[in-house]
Every structure is written in structure tokens, then in C-alpha cells.
Amino acid sequence: MKAILAKRVDSGTADLTEIEDLAVSAGYDVVGRLTQTRTEDAAYHFGEGKVDELAELVERTDADAVILDNEVGPYQTFNIGQKLPEGVEVVDRFTLILDIFGQRANTRKAQLQVELAQLRYELPRAEAKASLAKRDERPGFMGLGEYDESREQDIKRQISEIREELESIADKERSRRKQRRDSGFDLVALAGYTNAGKSTLLRQLAAELDVDENEDRHPDLATTAESEDRLFTTLGTTTRRAKMERRDVLLTDTVGFISDLPHWLVESFQSTLDSVYRADLVLLVVDAGEPTRTMREKLVTSHDTLYERNEAPIVTVFNKIDRITDEELAEKRSALSDIAPNPVAVSAKTGAGIDRLRERVERELPDWQRERLVLPLSESTMGVVSWIHDNAHVEEESYSDDYVTLEFEARPAVVSKARAKAAEIAPAESV
């Protein structure tokens, strides 16, 4: 489908870069662009003359749709549509985003979250239509179509049902996170804007290890992560195992942020964002190839989203340094030091800086507990020794005729479990 992009701003110059990326991601062929700088018009959002200009552009390009990079009210949408040739669709920014989300929703959780977002988007419009229609005796108030007074209640009922199902899924995921931590894994989440290179970074960090599919230890791990140059490739979550110097971590890539997301849309994807909020460490990935001003805007928005609920420390990763010079990188480090005081610079594409990132991840993760166990030699003991090697970092292991001594570091839950396993085989000395 061919589309015209249009955007109004109160001041300054309208930027159509992101909305064009979104339109292309949704499958549109962009054939025209139109912008306006002025205060919002109550009837048309744009000035009426600008809407006439938009209609002429649609006719010249034979466009099928007009995509508005603004939040436009239902009556403004109707009024703009009345000016356009018959059959031309008017799509606002959030309808476009929800359309893309719908195309990418391949899991039950993702589908539920998209449906929830669509319903939350529709609810105020249904409420407004029903309220205004009651004041007007004409069917289909202002030409917006027939209204059904029960629709508002239907939407609220569906929202309630979806939230209940999502909460059930969230309960299982909370249990899974606990199980993974109890098995000795630290949970690291990748966050950031779309196309910042999160999926490529995930592949780079985890590329040298196969994923253990033992569901008793860490179920639902994906062996691949897409890294295509398109928006919203990872609407759901992708988790892979990665080896640091001393620790095994589980890396999770989630849906990317985009600009100007309203609160209701962020809330609709709460279940997916929990993978970030409940991690042990968050890697906030930024495209270092973008202008410094753009990087700052995206960092500010990302921090606003993360700090509201996030429980973990955040490490900023300047990705795509292969696209800039060392001098440009130094300038960006300095200019953004107030919001990204100690970023790690990497190229997920070439592998540059990945070792430094691994070292930083290990430093920032929660401290482990040290333990020393002295166990009597037996067949059962060797099973415990093997388990400790799988779930902890063993610093020293020594054998005598009758005992094996292990000194190791691990998460507190793993240390507790190791003690319990040791106590089951025979009286043991713990120092």
C-alpha cells in the first residue's frame, strides 16, 4: 500500500524519520511527506488549508493511506477523511504501532498484550462516541457510524479477562525466574530503542555457547535471536545462555522502545517489560551512530521508562561504534556523561569491545556468597561436587584419602542448596 506521511508540531521542525521507519516496517510504500508547524486546530488537527494540500498530494500520488505522526482525536480523523478521496484510510501514529505489534505477535502472551493495547486505545473513543451520541438524535453522531451502548462494557469486560490471563502467565514467569536464579543463573536484560542492535548484541554475547534445553534448569530458552534491520523484530522475549569469566548468565532481549509512547501502551506490555524490571542487571543499548541530541533524547526516555519500576542497576552500552571515529565517540562520551557516566563502547557487528562488556557485566552483578565445604568421599558426594560445578564458580577443589574440599562462590540460594545437599549425604564440616 502507498502512504503519505504527515506531522504537525507546535514549534520547530517536524521530523518524519521514525514514522517513516514505522510505516516501512508495517509494509507501506511511502510516496509523499507533508509537515506543518502551528498550534493544533480543534477541527482538523492541522490547519484546514494544510489538509486541502494533503488531499491534493494524495490524488497526485494515488496513495491508499495517510499516516499521521500525531495523536489525533476521532472527530479530527473523521474531518480529515472527509477531505480525502473516497477509500483513503487515515491512520494515526498509535494505530500504526498497534498494527505492527499485531503483525509481530507470535506468542500467546504477545497476542494478549497487543489485544489489550488495542482495547485500551478503543475504550476512550467508545466512551466519547456513546456519550456524545446520547446528546444527538441523529444515528451515527457526526457521521462516525452507529454506536452501541453495550460496546463500552464489552471492552471493559475483555480488558479484565485479558489482564487475568496475563497475570496467570506472569505468575509462571516469576516462578521461572526464581527457578533460574536458584539454579545459579544471573538474569541480564537488554533494553533500548528499536534498531539499537540489541538482538545482534545478544547473538554476539551468546554465540559461543549452545543453549542447554534442560527444562528442569532453565526452560523456554531460544537457540536463535533475529537481528534483522527492522523495527519490533523482538516483540516477545528471546533468552539465551552466555558465559562470563566466572558466571553463567541468561540474557533476555525484549521489545524495543519507541518515542512518544503513551502510558496506556507501555502498561499494556507490562508482562513483557517485567523481564527488564525484574532482571539482576540491565544493559541499556544506544545507537552511537546517531546524533548526540537524538541519543540524549532516547536515553532520557529510556531512563524514564526503566527507573519507574526497575529493580536492577543499569549499564549503558554505546553500540555501533564501527560507524563513528574515535574522536566522535570521545565527544559523545563527554556530552552524555551526565546521563551515561561510564558507558561501555562496543560494536555488536564486529565484536569490538565485547570482552570489556563481559567484564563490566560481571562487576555489576550482585555479589556472590563464598563457601567452603568439606565432604566425605562417596558416590553421592561426587554427585554434589558435580552439581556445585554446574551452579557455582569453584575456586579450589582438593582431595585427601577420605574427604573432598570445595571452595566456591555462588548466589546465596545456590549456597543454601549446596549446604542442604551436603547435609543429606553425611555429616560434613562447613567453615
Annotated binding site for Mg(2+): 199, 234
355 CB neighbour count, 10 Å cutoff: 11
Residue 46 DSSP symbol: S
Bridging pattern class, strands 403-410 and 248-253: unpaired
CA distances from 199 to 6, 72, 194 (A): 31, 33, 10
Half-sphere exposure of 55 (CA within 13 A, CB side): 17
Cβ count within 10 A of residue 14: 17
Q: Which residues are annotated as a binding site for GTP?
A: 192-199, 253-256, 319-322, 347-349
**Residue 413 neighbours by CB distance under 10 Å:** 15
Residue 372 to residue 338: CA distance in whole angstroms: 43
CA distances from 172 to 169, 207, 235 (A): 5, 28, 19
Q: Would you list the DSSP string of 314-363?
A: EEEEEE-GGGS-HHHHHHHHHHTTTTSSSPEE--TTT-TTHHHHHHHHHH
Q: Which residues fall in the annotated binding site?
A: 192-199, 234, 253-256, 319-322, 347-349
Instruction: Output b/e per residue, 135-165; b: 16+ Cβ within 10 A.
Output: eeeeeebeebeebeeebbeebeebbeebbee
